[in-house]
Structures are given as structure tokens and as C-alpha cells.
Amino acid sequence: MQIIAHEDADGICSASLFKMTDPSSRVFFSKPCGLLRDLDQINPASDLAVLDIALCEVSKELIVSRLSRWGSPVLYMDHHPDTDKALLDRPNVRVVYGDVSTSELAFGYLSSKLKREGERVMLMGAIGDYEDLTPLCIDRLHRWDKRSIFLQAGMLSGALEVSRYDHEFHRQTVDLLASCRPPSDDSRIVSFAVKASELEEEFRKRVESSAKKVGGIGIVNDLDGPAGKGATYAAAAVGTSIGAYVDTDKRRGIADISFRVIDRSLDLNRLLRSVTPTLGASGGGHPSACGARVPLGRLYELFRAMNDGLAENACQFRTISLGAVADLPRVCAKLT
């Protein structure tokens, strides 16, 4: 089997559970905006499992078409909104979908074939995706020492942040977990995790001193740190309901943005999916945690569209003050 997984803790733990049951599986990594391209790089004659990858709005129809014509059975396992609907009634595509981590979905799907350590892998993936308060996770956590599981999950997530572009190391991490060994068995993971902890504290201070309030969004950019945490710290620093961390790539003319919400009544996924296509951008994820990719010159438009969307949909989203919208040109000029 070929496995294409998201390259975060949930994706890596999901891939590890599959490889625990089929050691000959080959593991590749992708993300929503790159899945269509990456599908062209692997063998369409071999069975395929796609794990923890949301469908990008811009290329969704092409991805669904590509998978529908795949030469072997396809398993699409995911927990991002709308994935199941997009792949409905595709004869050769089996969809496993649920409102839990993909690691938990994989654990349930494979449970009869998994060893005892599969529980630990599942719990680490769920914790890494902030999805550990489900009934199954709470029940299975009682079968382990909670402190040890959270320590291992923290080391794994920290190591992945520091080594985020080292795909071969991540494949080796999948192999480690699939062999029923904990992250702490690899000294590189421990070292990376310690480094991640040190860097995060420095990063948090930089974010909190640099964050700008743009309407109802706290924004910070290009500070060389974990994007999701940067978005959370930006929102906390300026007192907004939404935080955004922007990585700009001036050579390619794009900006990758991670969004997090403080106010969990907001459905950020629905908002981004409604505004990004008109900007030649892509975006989506979970209601409280999303990503987007936008042409660099249209950052200003994205933030304005988000603020406008929040203001115009008071019945669906809480109203957010737009008093700081006048700051948009000045702040976004710095980003571009």
C-alpha cells in the first residue's frame, strides 16, 4: 500500500498505525494545496490511503476526479469538514470520516490488527491535534500513565516542528512508532523537542511584541516559528477572537497563513472556504484551526473579506468590531 499523510503529529501517527499492520507500506507526505501534484508522483496501479488531508477548495474537483480514476482501491480517511460529501458515491474510493482525530479514525478502522502500543500511537496523534477529549481517548488514556503519554506526545509534536522540512526523518519517525517504540527511544526526537521548547518561549515573546490588530484579527508575520502557535499567541497578544500567522514567500509571490480562534463559537473553516476562492486563494480546515494560501499581493483583500464576512453574518458568527480596519493598508504594506 501507498500512504499519503499530512506531516503533523496526527498524520504521522495515522500513517504509523497503518504501517504497524502493513510494514511494507510506502509513506509519502503532502498537504491540501499540494495533494493534486503529489498524486501524480506515485503509482496509480497500487492501493492508496490518504490520511488527514483536507480537500483544497481550489483543486477539490480535480483531486476527486483523479482519485475516481485511480487504478486501485483508494481509502480516504480524514476529519476535516466536507471531505465525506466531496467524495460521496465514488465507487473505488472508500471514505472513513468522523469528528475525531484521524489517528482515532485509523485506530478504530484497524483495531483488530493492532498491537497494544497502537493505543499509545493513537493517543499521541489525538493530543497533537487537540482532539484528545473524545470518549474513546478518555477511556484508553486510563490504560496508560497520563503524564507519560502527554510527555511522549509533546516530544513528538515539538520534534516535528523543529524538523518540519525533513521528510526522511519523518518517515523514520513513522517506522519508529510502527515498531511499537515511543518517541523518546530516538535521541534525535528528544533533542529536537528540547530545542523546540526553548525556541517556543523566545518565539512567544517576539510574537507578543510584534502582533498587530487588523479588524477582528491579530496578525504577525515571518518570525520563524511554529505557525499555529504563532496565530494563537498573536490573538492573545492583541485581544482578538482570531489570530493569523503569515509566512511570506516573495520569490513565489505567495503567503501561507495559519489561523486559530480564541472564541470557539466562530466557524473559521466555513468563513475561509467562502472568501478564498474569489481571491485565487485556497483555505480551510477545522472550525477553530485553519490554513490558507493566498497570492502575496492579495493579503489585504483576504483580511478585509474575512472581517466583512464576520460583520455580515451576525447570526452565524459573533459580531467583531471593525474599528481597526483603517489599519489594514499600513499593516499589509509591511507584509508585501
* Domains in the chain: boundaries: 2-191, 211-335
CATH number of the 2-191 domain: 3.90.1640
Which pLDDT value is given to residue 178? 98
Q: pTM for this one?
A: 0.81
Q: CA dist 166 to 10, 59, 159, 170, 231, Å?
A: 17, 26, 11, 6, 23
Cα–Cα distance, 88 to 82 (Å, whole number) = 10
Cα–Cα distance, 112 to 98 (Å, whole number) = 19
Which pLDDT value is given to residue 282? 87
Q: For the chain (length 336 residues), average pLDDT per consecutive 10?
A: 97 98 97 92 94 88 94 95 85 94 98 97 96 96 97 97 93 98 98 95 96 95 92 97 95 95 88 90 87 92 92 53 45 48
Cα–Cα distance, 263 to 245 (Å, whole number) = 17
Which pLDDT value is given to residue 58? 79
Fold category of 211-335 in CATH? Diaminopimelate Epimerase; Chain A, domain 1 (3.10.310)
Nearest C-alpha neighbor of 209 from the set 240, 226, 230: 230
Q: Residue 43: exposed, middle, or buried by beta-carbon count in 10 A (0-12, 13-18, 19+)?
A: exposed
Answer yes or no: are the C-beta atoms of 242 and 259 closer than 8 Å.
Answer: yes
Q: CA dist 33 to 54, 62, 152, 226, 256, Å?
A: 9, 12, 30, 19, 10
With vertex at residue 276, the alpha carbon angle to CA 270 and CA 282, rounded to the nearest 5 degrees, is: 95
Q: Residue 23: exposed, middle, or buried by beta-carbon count in 10 A (0-12, 13-18, 19+)?
A: exposed
Cα–Cα distance, 119 to 113 (Å, whole number) = 12
Measured from the Cβ of residue 282, the count of other Cβ atoms closer than 10 Å reads 22
Burial 182-220 (b: 16+ CB within 10 A, else e): bbeebebbeebbeebeebbeebbeebeebbbbbbbbbbb
With vertex at residue 56, the alpha carbon angle to CA 55 and CA 60, rounded to the nearest 5 degrees, is: 75
Residue found under cell 493505543:
119
